[in-house]
Amino acid sequence: MQDIMMLVQDPAAWVALVTLVVMEVVLGIDNLIFISILTNKLPPEHREKARTLGIGLALIMRLVLLGTIAWIVKLTTPIFELFGHGFSWKDIILIAGGLFLLWKATKEIHHNVDPTDHDEDFIATAVATGFTAAIGQILLLDLVFSVDSIITAVGMTPHLPIMVVAVVAAVTVMLLAATPLANFIEKNPSIVMLALAFLMMIGMTLIAEGMGVHVPKGYVYAAMAFSALVEALNMLARNARRRRKQGSH
């Protein structure tokens, strides 16, 4: 209790907390895009439940990982070397997650380009199976992003209470933003393809990080923001043309 009171009175701790919350929220964007696209494949009555459950489980997973920080830190220790690069468990997790994202995004792009090919749909038609499959895939990506998130938190502050507050705050933001983002993506079909392209870029970034190639996150998010801005301008232009067309009739 005394340690917590000392942190509350320490300005540096507050700066670390705000910085870490912002960092965790930014890192959560990747996870949120994936959850939004995946849950939109479910029947409407199951979507919000799947998003809430998936994000809630992400919070539990991150809090559990925070309780095993000593083990998490060891994940960065190389366990074997290949082509002159030492691979750790963190690298393996990032590479596996990146490959999964590439596979998932590619399957979804194919399904959007050729929607008549039902054999390529990765969620079964049965509601129960679809819900279970969606939650399982959300958990798989939650694990990848949670490990990356916790290791980032450990590198920014040694204080566990700050990490816990930052993680809870970031996941709360994800929970509040999940449904509006998913609804926006569903109402704007062109956004779906852009979001899938984001997932492919994120997948490639994870693989590169796992291979020991550091990709500055600022470049990745700047590219995503620029692409989103261009798409927003396209949407405004399409809406303007639609209104002019309706006004001419």
Q: What is the pLDDT along the chain (249 residues), one digit of tens a residue?
A: 555 566 556 667 677 777 777 777 777 777 888 888 888 888 888 888 988 888 888 888 888 887 776 677 677 788 888 877 788 888 888 888 889 888 888 887 777 776 565 544 444 344 444 788 888 888 888 888 777 777 777 766 667 777 788 888 888 888 888 888 888 877 777 777 888 888 888 888 888 888 888 887 778 778 888 888 888 888 888 888 888 888 776
Task: Give residue 105's pLDDT.
Answer: 82
Question: DSSP 3-state assignment of 117?
Answer: coil
In a domain, 124, yes or no: yes
Give the Cβ contact number of residue 183 at 10 Å: 14
Predicted pLDDT of residue 6: 64
Q: How far apart are CA 93 and CA 89, in angstroms?
A: 6
In a domain, 100, yes or no: yes
CA 234 distance to own-chain centroid: 25
Q: Does residue 232 belong to any structural domain of this protein?
A: no
Residues spanned by the domain of 45: 2-215
Q: Is residue 243 part of a domain?
A: no
pLDDT of residue 110: 78
Residue 201 located in a structural domain: yes
pTM of the predicted protein model: 0.68
- Number of domains present in the structure of the chain: 1
Burial class (CB in 10 A: 0-12, 13-18, 19+), 228: middle
Whether residue 19 is contained in a domain is answered as yes
Give the C-alpha separation, 207 to 239, whole Å.
Answer: 38
Task: Supply the pLDDT for residue 158.
Answer: 65
d(CA 128, CA 61): 23
Cα 52 from Cα 149, distance rounded (Å):
19
How many other C-beta atoms can be found within 10 angstroms of the C-beta atom of residue 249?
Answer: 4
In a domain, 157, yes or no: yes
Residue 71, CB half-sphere, CA atoms under 13 Å: how many?
6
Q: Give a yes or no: residue 199 inside a domain.
A: yes
